Amino acid sequence: ISRFADAARQGRKEALGLFLITQDPQDIDDTVFKQVNTKLILNLNNDAAISSLKVPKEYERRIPYLKKGQMIIHSPDNSDIVEILGLSSCVVRHR
């Protein structure tokens, strides 16, 4: 984990992009999670997991009710949070 945390911290200097994908944001080490900028948030039902995302309370309350095709995009670089609603179909197919 320490090497990964170092890469996450140092990567910004080198314009390194980092994608972290998990069903439980609590699984991500705090040192690494602090380096995350933009978050794409899908439905979560665990209160501790939701609060670990550190988004405004008004959006925390909405996260458990997001449906298939809905997400919230949170980026501290933008003043407004974006909520994507009702994509008509899945845009990625897993094989």
**Tokens 């699984």 belong to residue:** 27
Q: Give me the pLDDT at residue 61, please.
A: 93
Regions in the chain scoring below 50 on pLDDT: none
Q: Residue 86: give the domain boundaries.
A: 37-95
Q: Give me the pLDDT at residue 79, please.
A: 62
Domain count, the chain: 2
pTM, rounded to two decimals: 0.71
28 and 71 share one domain: no
Q: Give me the pLDDT at residue 25, please.
A: 92
44 and 76 share one domain: yes
